[in-house]
């Protein structure tokens, strides 16, 4: 398991301030309600700063957020309430006697599992943590889009009253392992002190095809409920960077 998201986590919510967590949470709840009506207990792997998890708990679900980054957990912890808690662990190793109705891994968490060994551990563990008929819902980078569009160098600039963050992302494609190394160089300007600091972090991301995920699902005790483009529910194609998979434990 790679532990990225250390220095990066302090700027995570600022970098993704335009991400529509409310819309995404409503979309996930719609899937849960459609395919597992009486679900109440959710485990969210890679819960990050806890934004989705908090929304699920406010909508009446009991939620445990599992996140390997201590820094992310620190940011999420103030959101804790009677139906929401956070644990520092990973999707491969989280261990508890409680069983859940739904397991989630949102915003490319499964794409951070770059080796077959990590994927095997993760699918085995998710299956163990779910009750029979429980759902496993996740989104990943989709190979046809990644290999047609090809990842590009990108720069994102974002600021608030205190800081300005410039994030440069430079991808390296590894053709034979389905992995993209995204090297982030982050420049942070402290506006009050007029000081600039630099952070560097490389995120290894794996992209997946549907048959590859279906094979994993079958081997580890799941069947496919549905797959489509994340959020829009369109049929995946060469322009679909992120697909959502809804699996059910047999
Ligand atoms: C792009 S962030 C998404 C965070 C959050 N789900 C969101 O939507 O804002 C990916 C998250 O996956 C976590 N992660 C990476 N490897 C993981 C693993 N093996 N098990 C669980 N989470 C992992 C990272 O620490 C990070 O918080």
Is residue 62's pLDDT more than 90?
A: yes
Is pLDDT of 233 > 90? Answer: yes
The band of 198, judged by pLDDT with boundaries at 50, 70 and 90, is very high
pLDDT band at 6 (very low <50, low <70, confident <90, very high): low
* 48 touches ligand 1 (CB under 6 Å): yes
Residue whose CA is at the smallest distance from ligand 1 atom 5: 48
Q: How far is the CA of 154 from the centre of ligand 1 (A)?
A: 21
Distance in angstroms (rounded) separating the CA atoms of residues 140 and 244: 7
Ligand 1: distance of its center to the CA of 203 in Å?
11
Distance between Cα 194 and ligand 1 center (Å): 32
The number of residues in the chain equals: 250
Q: If 0-12 CB within 10 Å is exposed, 13-18 middle and 19+ buried, where does residue 82 land?
A: exposed
Q: Please give the torsion angle defined by the CA atoms of residues 34, 24, 12 and 15, in that order, rounded to the nearest 10 degrees.
A: 160
Encode 187-209 in three state secondary structure: EEEECCCCEEEEEEEEEEEEEEC
Q: Does any ligand 1 atom lie closer than 6 A to the CB of residue 119?
A: no
Q: Which residue has the tokens 């994102």?
A: 156
Are the CB atoms for 104 and 91 separated by under 8 Å? no
User: From atom 3 of ligand 1, which residue's Cα is the shortest distance away?
Assistant: 107
User: CATH for 9-141+207-249, among 3.40.980.10, 3.40.50.150, 3.90.550.10, 3.90.226.10?
Assistant: 3.40.50.150
Residue 230 has pLDDT above 90, yes or no: yes
Q: What is the dihedral of CA 97, 103, 105, 110, to 10 degrees?
A: 80
Q: Would you give the distance in Å from CA 87 to the centre of its chain? A: 16
Task: Decide if 9-141+207-249 and 145-206 have a common fold.
Answer: no
The per-residue pLDDT for 133 is 97
- Ligand 1 pocket, residue 86 CB under 6 Å: no
Q: What is the mean pLDDT of residues 176-201?
A: 94
Query: Could you tell me the pLDDT band of residue 4, with boundaries at 50, 70 and 90?
Result: low
Of 20, 221, 72, 213, give the one whose Cα is nearest residue 134.
221
Q: Whose CA is nearest to atom 25 of ligand 1?
A: 69
104 lines ligand 1 (CB under 6 A): no
pLDDT, residue 7, reads 62
Instruction: Indicate which atom in ligand 1 lies nearest the CA of residue 106.
Output: 6
The answer to whether the CB of 218 falls within 8 A of the CB of 121 is no
Return the residue whose CA atom lies nearest to atom 4 of ligand 1: 48
Distance CA 170, CA 208 (A): 20
Domain segments of the chain as ranges: 9-141+207-249, 145-206
Question: How many whole angstroms from 193 Cα to the centroid of ligand 1?
Answer: 32
Bridge partners (DSSP) of residue 200 are 185
Under the banding of pLDDT at 50, 70 and 90, the label for residue 9 is: confident
Q: Could you tell me if the CB of 56 is within 6 A of ligand 1?
A: no
What confidence tens digit (pLDDT) does each residue in 93-108 have?
A: 999 888 999 999 999 9
Mean pLDDT of the chain: 95
Tell me the pLDDT tens digit for each residue of 34-46. Answer: 999 999 999 999 9
As a whole number, mean pLDDT of residues 197-214 equals: 96
Ligand 1 within 6 A of CB of 72: yes
Can you name the CATH fold of 145-206? N-terminal domain of TfIIb (2.20.25)
The SS3 assignment for 25 reads helix
Residue nearest to atom 27 of ligand 1 (CA): 48
Q: Which helix (H) or strand (E) holds 44?
A: strand 41-45
């Amino acid at each position: 398991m790679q532990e990225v998201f250390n220095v990066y986590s302090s700027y995570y919510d600022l970098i993704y301030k335009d991400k529509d967590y409310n819309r995404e949470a409503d979309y996930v709840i719609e899937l849960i309600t459609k395919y597992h009506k009486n679900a109440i207990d959710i485990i969210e792997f890679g819960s990050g700063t806890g934004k989705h998890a908090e929304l699920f708990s406010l909508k009446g679900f009991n939620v445990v957020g599992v996140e390997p980054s201590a820094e992310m957990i620190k940011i999420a912890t103030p959101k804790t309430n009677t139906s929401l808690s956070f644990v520092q662990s990973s999707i491969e190793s989280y261990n508890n006697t409680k069983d859940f109705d739904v397991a989630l891994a949102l915003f490319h968490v499964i794409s951070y599992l770059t080796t077959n060994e990590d994927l095997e551990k993760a699918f085995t563990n998710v299956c163990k943590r779910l009750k029979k008929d429980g759902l496993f819902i996740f989104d990943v980078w989709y190979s046809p889009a990644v290999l047609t569009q090809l990842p590009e160098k990108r720069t994102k600039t974002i600021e608030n009253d205190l800081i300005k963050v410039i994030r440069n992302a430079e991808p390296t494609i590894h053709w034979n392992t389905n992995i993209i190394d995204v090297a982030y160089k982050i420049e942070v300007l402290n506006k009050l002190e007029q000081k600039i600091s630099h952070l560097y972090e490389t995120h290894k991301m794996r992209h997946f095809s549907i048959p590859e995920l279906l094979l994993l699902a079958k081997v580890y005790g799941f069947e496919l409920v549905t797959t489509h483009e994340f959020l829009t529910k369109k049929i995946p194609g060469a322009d679909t960077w992120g697909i959502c998979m809804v699996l059910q434990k047999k």
